[in-house]
Amino acid sequence: MSTHAGGLDRVPHTFVAESRELLREMEGALLTLEQSPRDPEAIHSLFRAVHTLKGSAGMFGLDPMVAFAHVLEGVLVEVRRGALEVDDALVELLLTCSDHVAAMVACLDGDDYVQRLETLDARSPELLAQLAGFSPRSAAAAQDLVAAIGDDAQAARWHISVRFAPDVLRHGMDPLSFLRYLRTLGELIGVAVVPDAIPAAAAMDPQACYLGLEIELQTAAGRRALEEAFEYVREGSTLHILGPDPSLDEYAALARLQPEGEDRALESLAACGAASTAQLRAALRRGAAHPAPATTAAGELDMASQPSGSAAPRPGRSAARRAADRHFVRVDAGKLDELIDLVGELLISSAGVSLGARRSGEADLREAAAQLARLVEEVRDRSLALRMVPIGETFSRFHRVVHDLGRTLGKDVELAIGGADTELDKSMVEKLGDPLLHLVRNALDHGIEPAARRIATGKPARGRIRLDAWHESGHIVIEVADDGAGLDTGKILARAQDAGLVEVGQVLSERQIQQLVMEPGFSTADEVTPVSGRGVGMDVVKRNIEALRGTVSIDSIPGAGTRVALRLPLTLAIIEGFLVGVGRSAYVIPLEMVVECLELAAAEREATCARGYLNLRGEVLPLLRLRDVFGIGGHTGRRENIVVVQHGQRRAGFVVDALLGESQTVIKPLGKLFERLAGISGSTILGSGEVALILDIQALVEQAIGAEAARTGVRPPRIEDRQNP
């Protein structure tokens, strides 16, 4: 097969991105059909995805993709008509075909895509043969298209005459898309537009279609393929197909049927290259008694299986997809990153302007600076919103992981998804793929028991994994939970002692033992398998999440299951900060972690700091004096304050010299020399041009709680676990 890509050096990125969306839609529909084989919406969605992908590939001359997708489409036509039942074997084969097309799409993102695509196409015959075993009729019909692409010498001449229904445009279908699609089937010899149905300007409906087309096409695709090309406009439209190699008498018979009259019809036929006007008129005068041409008109073909609102070939986009394109524009992620960087610099400059205005004492200048600050804040919020995407798309990809891995392990597992509409910064979503993959694989391999064991313990045979997400205190919490056997803390502790991670006889709490599974190289698997046993997994999760300024927590109940919660900041670029002063230094605390601020009375200061905790309305609050933590010398001021912070389920108090108020904080990474400073997660530039350090709240809270436990031998009680909203 040849691949010419329409003469393009590279396939447009928009085609690659849209194809991947269609493949995800196809995969989701197939996984739905595995559970509900007769789901009509899933069948229609699957057919539309393949049909649109075929038409889109045809626009760029990606012949191997067009031919392969055409065979797939033929099988799905049989499924839609009820002639072919959906079973597990067919779903598995179609998923394999989806992977094959995905590999074709992946190879387009490069300069040598033509050679790579043809190399991948070498596997197509094997899959086509398997498809033929399910639907010989569809596979045989698809050979017309394969022959058309592979051997132009067998092509015949066909004539297509179409008068579109007035509602074609309203249904989101572009008449020109049919011409682009026909070019993928062969060579367009000529096209004539018939505008005779256009009314006077005063009576014209701008949303109505008044056009007709006369088309001469050289192709080996066959009548069936040509009819299928116009499948979505049959209702209300009139289609005539002449060929192969139609005679002059057939053209004359067609002219007699056209609503614009014989003379005008002959002019259109001559204009598209069917024959000369003189030849056509001579045939018309002879009045030869040839049979009427093959006709497809409204009501003449079986439309029972036709989904409402389907799209024309794309080119065939669905009406919903075309409508969505009128409201959404694809933007390169790099450009959004540049915009956020510029907004960050704008925030710093705005803070400097506000500071200068306050120092000037000019009322008008202060008012102008305040107005500027409000506008900059709004620009910041709108810019950050541009990078926020629902996490549901990331979650949905794990349906396939659970499906494939469940079959590999011989386990029946379902995936449930909650909080799919929860939004997260796109740059962060892209980095969550590997950690979530490890967690889902662990849940399947280590958590979910085999069906026989589950039944014996009173559980349903089918295991359940749940992916959930929700917002909490300025963070997003992503939870991976399973209803499996839970963590075996005895086994974990024994393996940790063998590996030297824990000293023999050392006493650890249940929670501390559970956290050991995130140590590098740790594994409880008894043997190495393709899925686990190499000690690589949870340590990768912890490392990747901490790189995103997040935390990982594990909660497991033996026999009931395990929950792993990832807590992440909403964005990595700009945050609302609370500025505090310690000596001559300024520090930033993320505002969403600040619970309240208290004044530390001078009379209680010495005793409270020596004790290391505060009785806050009956709650033991561990304290950490930042002056001592960072080794800041000098005398304290006349007043000291306590900032109560909360991270997840824990609270602590930071003793500071001054409360400097809220501040929009642009996060600047620390250099390699300082990136591992204890208690510091980043830096920012203040309006005065000075640098302020951003506190690592998690590390400092743990330090405060650890210091309190060391003094008293008792860990302070934790705040009750928050329930998933």
Q: What is the pLDDT of residue 644?
A: 92
Q: State both tokens at 612.
A: 């290391």
Average pLDDT over residues 664-672: 76
How many helices (H) does the chain have, and how many strands (E)? 26, 22
Name the CATH superfamily housing domain 574-712: SH3 Domains (2.30.30.40)
Please state whether beta strands 561-569 and 650-656 pair in parallel, antiparallel, or not at all (unpaired): unpaired
Q: What is the pLDDT of residue 368?
A: 92
Average pLDDT over residues 188-200: 86
Q: Is the peptide bond before 244 cis (omega within 30 degrees of 0)?
A: yes
- pLDDT band of residue 312 (cuts 50, 70, 90) is very low
Contact yes or no for 426/387 (Cβ under 8 A): yes
The model's pLDDT over 540-586, given as tens digits with 9 standing for 90+, comes to 888 888 888 788 888 888 888 999 999 887 766 677 889 998 888 89
The model's pLDDT over 599-616, given as tens digits with 9 standing for 90+, comes to 887 777 777 777 878 888
Q: Which of 90-94, 135-139, 269-273, 599-603 has the lowest mean pLDDT?
A: 135-139
Domain residue ranges of the chain, discontinuous segments joined by +: 5-150, 152-321, 333-387, 392-569, 574-712
- Residue 237 sits at φ, ψ, to 5 deg, of -105, 165
Percent of the chain with pLDDT over 90: 9
Contact yes or no for 161/258 (Cβ under 8 A): yes
Q: Is the pLDDT of residue 5 over 70?
A: no
Residue with the bigger pLDDT between 290 and 269: it is 269
Distance from C-alpha of 121 to C-alpha of 149, rounded to nearest angstrom: 13
Q: Is the pLDDT of residue 289 over 80?
A: no
Please classify residue 435 by burial: count the beta carbons closer than 10 Å to its beta carbon, then call 0-12 exposed, 13-18 middle and 19+ buried. buried
For 5-150, the fitting CATH number among 3.40.50.300, 1.10.1520.10, 1.20.120.160, 3.40.50.1980 is 1.20.120.160
- 185 three-state secondary structure: helix
Residue 198 identity (one-letter amino acid) = I
Q: What is the pLDDT of residue 621?
A: 87
Distance from C-alpha of 424 to C-alpha of 505, rounded to nearest angstrom: 44
Contact yes or no for 625/655 (Cβ under 8 A): yes
Q: What is the pLDDT of residue 306?
A: 35
Q: What is the mean pLDDT of the chain?
A: 78
- Residue 387 sits at φ, ψ, to 5 deg, of -95, 0
For 603-608, the CB contacts below 8 A with 24+ separation are 605/640
Q: Is the pLDDT of residue 126 over 70?
A: yes
Q: What is the pLDDT of residue 649?
A: 72
* Closest to 610 in 3D by CA, of 715, 708, 714, 716: 708
Q: Tell me how crowded residue 42 is: count the other CB atoms within 10 A of its CB.
A: 20
For 531-537, the CB contacts below 8 A with 24+ separation are 531/405, 531/408, 531/409, 531/441, 531/444, 531/445, 532/441, 532/442, 532/445, 532/446, 537/438, 537/441, 537/442
The model's pLDDT over 477-527, given as tens digits with 9 standing for 90+, comes to 999 999 998 888 888 888 888 877 777 777 777 777 888 888 776 666 555
Q: Is the pLDDT of residue 11 over 60?
A: yes
- Residue 38 sits at φ, ψ, to 5 deg, of -105, 15
Specify the fold of 152-321: Alpha-Beta Plaits (3.30.70)
Q: State both tokens at 600.
A: 């530390």
Q: Tell me how crowded residue 46 is: count the other CB atoms within 10 A of its CB.
A: 26
DSSP annotation of 36: -
Give one DSSP letter per residue of 269-310, joined into a string: HHHTTSS-HHHHHHHHHHT--PPPPEEEETTTS--TTPPTTP
Handedness of CA 326, 328, 330, 332 (dihedral sign): positive
Residue 650 pairs in a beta bridge with 647
Q: Which CATH architecture has domain 392-569?
A: 2-Layer Sandwich (3.30)
Distance of CA 229 to CAs 163, 253, 258, 312, Å? Answer: 14, 23, 21, 8
The model's pLDDT over 244-262, given as tens digits with 9 standing for 90+, comes to 888 888 888 888 888 888 8
Please state whether beta strands 691-695 and 585-590 pair in parallel, antiparallel, or not at all (unpaired): parallel
- pLDDT band of residue 633 (cuts 50, 70, 90) is confident
Q: What is the pLDDT of residue 480?
A: 93
Residue 656 pairs in a beta bridge with 641
Contact yes or no for 312/170 (Cβ under 8 A): no
Handedness of CA 55, 59, 61, 65 (dihedral sign): negative
Distance of CA 432 to CAs 126, 465, 543, 721, Å? Answer: 36, 18, 12, 24
The model's pLDDT over 441-476, given as tens digits with 9 standing for 90+, comes to 888 888 899 999 999 999 999 999 999 998 876 678
Q: Is the pLDDT of residue 152 over 80?
A: no
Please state whether beta strands 551-557 and 463-472 pair in parallel, antiparallel, or not at all (unpaired): unpaired
- pLDDT band of residue 597 (cuts 50, 70, 90) is very high
Q: What is the pLDDT of residue 481?
A: 93
Average pLDDT over residues 295-307: 33
Q: Which of 85-89, 133-137, 187-191, 246-250 has the lowest mean pLDDT?
A: 133-137
Q: Is the pLDDT of residue 170 over 60?
A: yes
- 480 three-state secondary structure: strand
Q: What is the pLDDT of residue 7?
A: 44
Contact yes or no for 147/224 (Cβ under 8 A): no
Q: Is the pLDDT of residue 147 over 70?
A: no
Q: Is the pLDDT of residue 376 over 60?
A: yes
Q: What is the pLDDT of residue 531?
A: 55
Contact yes or no for 167/208 (Cβ under 8 A): yes
Q: Is the pLDDT of residue 216 over 90?
A: yes
Q: What is the pLDDT of residue 144?
A: 53
Q: State both tokens at 41.
A: 């919406």
Element at 493 (helix H, strand E)? helix 489-498
Contact yes or no for 161/215 (Cβ under 8 A): yes
Q: Per DSSP, which regions of 401-514 are E strands? A: 413-417, 423-425, 463-472, 475-482
Distance from C-alpha of 237 to C-alpha of 534, rounded to nearest angstrom: 63
The vertex-78 CA angle with 73 and 83, nearest 5°, equals 170
Q: State both tokens at 307.
A: 């989904």
Q: What is the pLDDT of residue 688?
A: 76
Question: Rounded to a whole number, what is the distance in angstroms from the first to the last CA of the chain?
Answer: 55
Q: Is the pLDDT of residue 8 over 90?
A: no
Rg of the chain, C-alpha, whole Å: 34
Alpha helices in 612-665 (DSSP H): 626-629
Q: What is the pLDDT of residue 666?
A: 79
Residue with the bigger pLDDT between 462 and 143: it is 462
Distance from C-alpha of 122 to C-alpha of 110, rounded to nearest angstrom: 19
Q: What is the pLDDT of residue 302?
A: 32
Q: What is the pLDDT of residue 725?
A: 33
Q: Which CATH architecture has domain 333-387?
A: Orthogonal Bundle (1.10)
The residues, any chain, with a CB within 8 Å of residue 385's CB and separated by 6 or more, are none
Q: Per DSSP, which regions of 340-462 are E strands? A: 388-390, 413-417, 423-425
The residues, any chain, with a CB within 8 Å of residue 73's CB and separated by 6 or more, are 47, 50, 51, 54, 228
